[in-house]
Amino acid sequence: MLDINHAIESLDWGKEPEGLYAPIAYALASGGKRIRPTLALIASEMFGGKEEEVLPAALALEVFHNFTLLHDDVMDRASVRRGRPTVHVQWDDNTAILSGDQMLIEAYKLIAKVPSDKVQRTLEMFNEMATGICEGQQYDVDFERRDDVRIEEYMKMIELKTSVLLANALRTGGYIAGANEAQQEALYQYGLHIGLAFQIQDDILDVYGDPKTFGKAIGGDICCNKKTFLLLTALHTADATSQAELNEWLRISDRNEEKIAAVTAIYDRLGVRKAGEQAMEEHTSFALQQLNQLPQNQATDRLRALAEKLATRNK
């Protein structure tokens, strides 16, 4: 399979004005796993598609993903991304806004480059995905201010914010390579559910991960009262005593070590880790079932291995 990093480096941005384009190159050069274009290429390969036909859409998804990170980092006041200063720190907020806008436009320029008879549908799917991600981001913001978020709402939010991009990468790759509608839907559902499993696993690892392999400090979500699968499950399943104890800790922000230990103990008592692992396994299993409806070849095997790897990852 072709080298995605190389393809991204070869993208033909404008040169001038440098203040607009340099931050785009900076944001895209910072690496990341390139999982979205990879999924599009695997889906295309599954149907014997031509790499050069799907590549513009695959790259559009990666450019779009990095656009969302750029604007999200402004909104979240995040100062570091992949080990480097974020664009709004390296330059300023206005640069991050405007260069981000241009990145979104560059993604659409790539969409215009898929085979002519596939442009309209690819564009429609891309728009649907992009709308979902903006909606997911807004729900995430809304949830921070609410204390009555239901688990189903949380699942819907992470589906929109994370999963639809993976799902659409697979669907688009399949579509351009000639997958029929049922096959596109199976690819889409596979992507949705590995995304959900991934996000739940992320919530679990933040509390139960091994600090040596996880790569960031354990308990960050607990410290900042982040509404995760674990916290929402705990709040909704706890008896009156545990609920009161949990709510007490949610009001405390200056005793982090103690808070992490205490909330984790409540989680242990309520068995929310197990509930999370079960939900994760259900989503993984549903994702794997989708693959049975697709052509069986090396590409399908790669998606199967990916789902299994995500389900057992510890970092």
Do residues 183 and 294 touch, judged by C-beta distance below 8 A?
Answer: yes
- Angle 151-158/229-237 helices, nearest 10 degrees? 170
305 forms part of the interface with a second copy (CB under 8 A): no
11 forms part of the interface with a second copy (CB under 8 A): no
Question: Contacting a second copy (CB under 8 A), which of 52, 124, 258, 268?
Answer: 124
Question: Contacting a second copy (CB under 8 A), which of 78, 89, 134, 262?
Answer: 134
Q: Could you say which residues in the range 44-73 bind a second copy, by CB under 8 A?
A: 71
Q: Report the alpha-carbon distance of residue 259 to residue 266 in Å, rounded.
A: 11
Do residues 101 and 27 touch, judged by C-beta distance below 8 A?
Answer: no
Q: Which two tokens stand for residue 263?
A: 């909330």
Question: Contacting a second copy (CB under 8 A), which of 97, 218, 223, 288?
Answer: 97
Question: Contacting a second copy (CB under 8 A), which of 31, 48, 79, 138?
Answer: 138
Q: Which two tokens stand for residue 66?
A: 């990095």
Question: Contacting a second copy (CB under 8 A), which of 84, 109, 269, 313?
Answer: 109
Q: Report the alpha-carbon distance of residue 107 to residue 114 in Å, rounded.
A: 12
Backbone angles phi, psi at 66, to 5 degrees: -70, -30
Question: Contacting a second copy (CB under 8 A), which of 10, 12, 16, 298?
Answer: 16
Provide the mask over 77-96, with x wherever binding to a second copy is found by CB under 8 A and - wherever it is not.
-----------------x--
Q: Could you say which residues in the range 139-168 bind a second copy, by CB under 8 A?
A: 139, 141-142
111 forms part of the interface with a second copy (CB under 8 A): yes
The stretch near a second copy (CB under 8 A) out of 13-21, 78-86, 180-188, 266-274 is 13-21
Q: Report the alpha-carbon distance of residue 10 to residue 61 in Å, rounded.
A: 16
Q: Report the alpha-carbon distance of residue 67 to residue 61 in Å, rounded.
A: 10
Instruction: Report the SS3 class of residue 116.
Output: helix
CB nearer to a second copy: give 116 or 312: 116
Do residues 300 and 203 touch, judged by C-beta distance below 8 A?
Answer: no
Residue showing tokens 């410290």: 223
Question: Contacting a second copy (CB under 8 A), which of 35, 78, 89, 123?
Answer: 123
**What Cα–Cα distance (Å) separates residue 267 from each residue in 200, 230, 264, 272?**
15, 7, 5, 5
CB nearer to a second copy: give 120 or 289: 120
Residue ranges that bind a second copy, judged by CB under 8 A? 14, 16-17, 19-20, 71, 74-75, 94, 97-98, 100-102, 104-106, 108-109, 111-112, 116, 119-120, 123-124, 126-127, 130-131, 134-135, 137-139, 141-142
